Structure 1
């Protein structure tokens, strides 16, 4: 089955050595992370890659397609990491609040593991109006929404086991992200300003308590 990510990458891929293309994407990731969308140029990416602008343009016809490739690659990596986190922490739940808090802490690890990706996310949040049409939608589909669908599937499993009372698993997944990790993500500016362990734990535990009040089994409320 062709995924949104596969289809998107097909539109920006040109013939040529795969490793050279990957090298250009890596270089572009670094430049976009430092400079953002507006101030990044093809020439700067070429200099970072140690090649000429014509090489960058051979693989990516314009800066918008280059940004899309960088964002989708990062989104796929983060989504894969978070899918693994959900599988690990929700496979066997014995103490609902404790295990959800552990999931919340693990959910934040990509902020550290993928710093350049989240630096780009910070930039595009400030440059939304200037971005090429479709870039945000494709990134959201390949990254945050894909991750939320996987989390929803796991939460539905907890509901089937009687550990949660969930009518709409997608809504529950959205609430988990907003309540449990959203405060940390916002206050740390997507990991740019790390919070203390104490503050992180307090935000997560408060969010979990709110989540359980909303979606815990009726007998526990």
Structure 2
């Protein structure tokens, strides 16, 4: 749950980082392709690969049922970062209650799809 909460509302010391990330995401098509690709490889794709590797290890231990760890990582991120209608991540502060609700709902949905069924 802590990881999900950190993803919903990043720590204050990373505010500048996430402001830049939001700007790049919003204006990505205006950046030269090789610059945007380099940023993707160094940041978002590296994080996704790391999360996917963790998901694969959890699956190896029988704690998750994961056929495609990269897809599972994408699902987790999408589910715990759904702040539609609740402000803009990194711009409008979410309350502790909102952060908990979003993270809990995302984790619940993720586990519903990825917990082993036996």
Contact 1:111–1:191, Cα closer than 8 Å, also in 2: no
Closer, same or farther in 2 for the Cα pair 1:153/1:126, shift >3 Å?
closer
Partners of 2:44 and 2:85 in 1: CA distance:
15
Compare the two structures and name the one with the higher helix fraction.
Answer: 1
Counterpart of 2:20 (choices 100, 114, 120) is 120
Q: Is 1:212 matched up with 2:111? A: yes
Gap regions ≥5 residues in structure 1:
1-100
The 5 A counterparts of 1:30-45 are: none
Q: Give the paired residue count.
A: 118
Match of 1:114, SS state, is helix
Contact 1:112–1:191, Cα closer than 8 Å, also in 2: no
**1:118 CA drift (Å):** 1.6
Partner residue of 1:174?
Answer: 74
Partner residue of 2:91?
Answer: 192
**1:178 CA drift (Å):** 0.7
Gap regions ≥5 residues in structure 2:
none
Alignment RMSD, CA only? 2.1
**1:111 CA drift (Å):** 4.9
Closer, same or farther in 2 for the Cα pair 1:109/1:143, shift >3 Å?
same
Partners of 2:26 and 2:106 in 1: CA distance:
26
Higher relative contact order (CA 8 A, sep 6+): 2
**1:129 CA drift (Å):** 3.1
Closer, same or farther in 2 for the Cα pair 1:172/1:152, shift >3 Å?
same
After TM superposition, which residue ranges in structure 1, 4 or more long, deviate above 6 angstroms? Answer: none
Bigger Rg, structure 1 or 2? 1
Partners of 2:94 and 2:52 in 1: CA distance:
27
Give the structure-1-normalised TM-score: 0.48
